[in-house]
Amino acid sequence: MHRGRFFGKGLVIGAAVFSACLLSTVCAVRAAEAEDVRSLVAKIHWLGHDSFRIDGKDVVLYIDPYHIKEGPMADLILITHDHGDHASPADVAKIRSQNTVIVTIAAAAQKFSGDVRSVKPGDTLTVKGVDVRALPAYNLTKFRSPGIPYHPKEAGHVGFLITVDGVRIYHAGDTDHIPEMEGLAPDVALLPVSGTYVMTPEEAVKAAAAIGPKVAVPMHVGEGIGSLDDAARFRHMATVPVIVLPIEK
């Protein structure tokens, strides 16, 4: 009987120790995974709205600079389309040097001079060591009037899939959840979540699941369009990891 009790107690202690070790291991793995996710966005700076600066090892890259302060000079500027809150000559002038390259669609290229390279959906190029792929960005369910979307597919607006220092980053541009997002599987997906002109938080959740990034970052809030509450709703509902970056102004 005593042996049985001792044996039974040993089992309980062993199970407790095993459970503690297992829990510790799981926590350590999760902490490591969380750190890996955070490291993916460490060089990405959200400047409000759809604007970002990415500080690569050998390149400073901006996407859709709008209402920004002066910052590090840009090696490369990507502009998704010609609307004024994305293609802003006044903001580009704050960060542009004589060596800066601008990549954008033809309709926006007309607003700028210098080394401006036009792209359309499906185009790929390498600029300043950055691999750039232009992807479609358009509305399916957001209309300025019946049958007239805010961002028509035929306008050729784009998002960008880029690789900076080995990290693949997808900036979706102004878009709804569209079929071309399926299976992109970038490391980071920058997704609009404010609704009205782009995806709602609920639609962005479905888009993120289809895209399959390691981490998603909400955008297209603030600047009078949407609010940080939309970003928080997206984070709460998403089935992929989400980091809401601070706005750096």
Each residue's pLDDT expressed in tens, for the chain with a length of 249 residues: 444 433 333 334 355 544 554 555 455 546 656 777 888 999 999 999 999 999 999 999 999 999 999 899 999 999 999 999 999 999 999 999 999 999 999 999 999 999 999 999 999 999 999 999 999 999 999 888 988 888 999 999 999 999 999 999 999 999 999 999 999 999 999 999 998 999 999 999 999 999 999 999 999 997 778 899 999 999 999 999 999 999 998
Reported as a single tens digit per residue, the pLDDT across 33-84 is: 677 788 899 999 999 999 999 999 999 999 999 999 989 999 999 999 999 9
Phi/psi at 157 (nearest 5 deg)? Answer: -65, 155
Rounded distance between C-alpha atoms, residue 43 and residue 203, angstroms: 27
Rounded distance between C-alpha atoms, residue 174 and residue 169, angstroms: 16
